[in-house]
């Protein structure tokens, strides 16, 4: 969200006790150094956004009825009661290839939205929910509709007058009139790095170490909308969809509430593990008022198995990514609703006291710090204000496998103590556990343990 104050004191450092030197090095790389942009209302964007987005379900085939149906389903399924309150319209909502004559304002497609976006916003607000819109930091959106570059002030004012609460701001169709960046960052979705652990070698276009990306043209292009939103009387959560380019994790938290870390997500397992593999190395920028966006959820979509769906949701929640449901809610199974409403994972994601995400403390199948799309880190842990620790053990292999979280390896726990553990998926108490927590984890599944207290 956009505002005038910045905060760097709320995200606590992880307590380190009884760990190996290699684990200490891992944790030091994830200490939160974020300086987040604080919203005018002192609330919006402090925690990751929860809600629904139209794109994964409908692409450009959207209209008022589908958006209202999604809002109604959030309430019927009880998803709004656990925090899913944004109803976000993605691309293709406006008149194509035209702005309003005389004002240069964006115009809703009134065939799709007969009551206009402001009329729809009134209805959504009347339901106790919030509404989001889509824009683009180029001459046209990804679907070819009018973009907002050079029209930031007009569009921000328009959205504020319509009652918009959330802006997803994309990165398509940057015109030649806008200067290109001097350098590019090393990112596997765009640069095909050939060095060890996903690094770029012998690439003269990669920015030198220590380069200040706030001097880049990409930063300036997205920051224009920051300034425009900040000038409005309404608080609008600003979500960058910049695709992880220009090292956005180093500057996104001074510009917006969240920032996309990769190219688009898709509903198949290899894409889930790829995004996880990229984001797991870049969690130091996450804290209150600023969050890495691992992209919309694919829960309920396509080829993901129940196990893969659990892993996808659990790790997105643990990384404190925004959680935006991206499916036709009318077709969502009861099992998937239960995943989306998991109380332990939502509490961790929405913790009002602890802003830092869970981070890897051991890779498992491959050596620590290995960049590997097939086997990202398997062992994760994070602090919670409601219980002592959240611990996740994933199995990215093709067969069920035993996983063991040794207390002496988990940051902040002690090998000499016992802890009460609750299974986050079933809510059942495992017991007072000595030495460590073990579980047989199915292929592509994840065990999630809540370490409640010492015993």
The catalytic residue positions are: 170, 264
3-state secondary structure string across 139-201: CECCCCCECCCCCHHHHHHHHHHHCCCEEEEECCCCCCCCCCCCCECCCCCCCCCCCHHHCCC
Q: What angle do CA 430, 436, 437 make, to 5 degrees?
A: 35
Q: Would strands 50-53 and 323-325 be described as parallel, antiparallel, or unpaired?
A: parallel
Q: Would strands 86-88 and 291-293 be described as parallel, antiparallel, or unpaired?
A: unpaired
Contacts of 429 (CB under 8 A, 6+ apart): 420, 421, 422, 423
Which of 303, 277, 284 lies closest to 189 in space, CA to CA?
A: 277
**Would you tell me how many other CB atoms lie within 10 Å of the CB of residue 360?**
24
Phi/psi at 246 (nearest 5 deg)? 55, 35
**Would you tell me how many other CB atoms lie within 10 Å of the CB of residue 81?**
11
Q: Would strands 130-136 and 86-88 be described as parallel, antiparallel, or unpaired?
A: parallel
Distance (Å, whole) CA 372 – CA 276: 10
**Would you tell me how many other CB atoms lie within 10 Å of the CB of residue 296?**
28
Distance (Å, whole) CA 70 – CA 67: 5
Are 138 and 172 in contact by the 8 Å Cβ rule? The answer is yes
Contacts of 186 (CB under 8 A, 6+ apart): 193, 198, 199, 200, 203, 206
Distance (Å, whole) CA 176 – CA 173: 9
Are 453 and 388 in contact by the 8 Å Cβ rule? The answer is yes
403 bridge partner residues: 439
Identify the three-state secondary structure at position 333.
coil
Which of 85, 242, 220, 244 lies closest to 170 in space, CA to CA?
A: 242
Which of 316, 295, 320, 51 lies closest to 166 in space, CA to CA?
A: 51
């Amino acid at each position: 969200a956009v505002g005038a104050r910045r905060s760097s004191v709320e995200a606590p450092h992880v307590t380190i006790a009884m760990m190996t030197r290699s684990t200490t090095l891992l944790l030091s790389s994830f200490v939160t150094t974020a300086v987040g942009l604080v919203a005018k209302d002192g609330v919006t964007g402090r925690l990751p956004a929860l809600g629904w987005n139209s794109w994964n379900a409908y692409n450009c085939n959207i209209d008022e009825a589908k958006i209202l149906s999604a809002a109604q389903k959030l309430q019927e399924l009880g998803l709004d009661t656990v925090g899913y309150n944004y109803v976000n319209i993605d691309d293709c909502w406006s008149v194509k290839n035209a702005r309003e004559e005389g004002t240069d304002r964006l115009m809703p497609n009134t065939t799709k939205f007969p009551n206009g976006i402001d009329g729809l916003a009134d209805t959504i607000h009347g339901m106790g929910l919030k509404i989001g819109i889509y824009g683009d930091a180029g001459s046209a959106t990804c679907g070819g509709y009018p973009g907002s570059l050079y029209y930031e002030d007009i569009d921000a004012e328009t959205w504020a007058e319509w009652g918009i609460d959330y802006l997803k701001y994309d990165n398509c169709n940057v015109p030649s009139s806008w200067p290109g960046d001097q350098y590019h960052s090393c990112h596997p979705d765009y640069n095909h790095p050939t060095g060890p652990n996903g690094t770029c070698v012998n690439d003269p276009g990669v920015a030198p170490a220590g380069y200040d990306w706030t001097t880049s043209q990409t930063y300036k292009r997205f920051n224009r909308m920051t300034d425009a939103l900040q000038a409005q009387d309404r608080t609008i959560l600003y979500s960058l969809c910049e695709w992880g380019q220009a090292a956005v994790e180093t500057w996104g938290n001074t510009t917006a509430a969240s920032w996309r870390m990769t190219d688009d997500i898709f509903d198949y397992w290899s894409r889930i593990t790829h995004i996880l593999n990229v984001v797991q190395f870049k969690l130091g920028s996450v804290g209150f008022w600023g969050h890495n966006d691992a992209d919309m959820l694919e829960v309920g979509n396509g080829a993901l198995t129940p196990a893969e769906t659990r892993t996808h949701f659990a790790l997105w929640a643990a990384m404190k990514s925004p959680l935006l449901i991206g499916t036709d809610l009318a077709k969502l199974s009861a099992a998937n609703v239960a995943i989306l409403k998991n109380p332990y994972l939502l509490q961790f994601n929405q913790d009002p006291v602890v802003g830092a995400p869970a981070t890897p403390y051991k890779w498992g199948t491959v050596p620590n710090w290995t960049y590997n799309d097939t086997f990202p880190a398997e062992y994760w842990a994070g602090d919670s204000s409601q219980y002592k620790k959240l611990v996740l053990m994933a199995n990215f292999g093709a067969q069920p496998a035993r996983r063991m979280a040794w207390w002496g390896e988990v940051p902040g726990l002690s090998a000499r103590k016992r802890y009460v553990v609750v299974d986050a998926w079933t809510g059942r108490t495992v017991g007072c556990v000595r030495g460590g927590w073990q579980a047989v984890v199915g292929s592509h599944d994840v065990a999630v343990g809540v370490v409640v207290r010492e015993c």
